[in-house]
Structure 1
């Protein structure tokens, strides 16, 4: 194997590792967002966990995060706007990325 091949393999490994970390951060962010929204809706315990799991699944199934954000804002029915939900998601994504990086 040449040096070029070694470098290419290392780059591919780094790309896969970074993609995995980003996926974990996105899932964690969605869970935080789901739990936050559940709290706004007065859900607790298993009901809140179930709502958060639904948010994670919806984000995996949907084409964009915007659709999930709009859905959450709709669920909140005036308790938070789309912009407020998007801001919360951005806030949680920073926290989730930090936590995932610290764990790895």
Structure 2
């Protein structure tokens, strides 16, 4: 393996780590958004956001996060499409350098 390949692999790893961290921050932001709608504040809101991040590890993509939100938020208060859109906004807000 030459120096270029090592550098390229190192950059790819850094990019992957940055994307992972940005996703965690975005899902945590979504958790804070949902916690507010659930009437949670302080540590309870932080704990809820953390539980949403943990739920994100169940399946690839956004469906696991949206499924948890649909179960937790008052029935009929928000649709899956609305949650996907809000999650996209939260993820976009956190996409970039930490």
TM-score calculated relative to the size of structure 1: 0.85
Residue 22 (structure 2) aligns with: 25
1:21 CA displacement: 0.2
Other-structure match for 1:90: 88
Counterpart selection for 1:70 from 26, 42, 67: 67
Task: Give the gaps of 5 or more residues in structure 2.
Answer: none
Structure with larger Rg: 1
Higher normalized contact order (CA 8 Å, seq sep 6+, divided by chain length): 2
Length, aligned pairs only: 96
What is the correspondence of 1:1-104 to structure 2 with a 5 Å cutoff?
A: 5-60=2-57, 62-64=58-60, 65-76=62-73, 77-98=75-96, 101=97, 103=98
Determine which structure has the larger helix proportion and give its number: 1
Measure how far apart 1:10 and its partner are. 1.1
How far apart, CA to CA, are the structure 1 residues paired with 2:85 and 2:78?
10
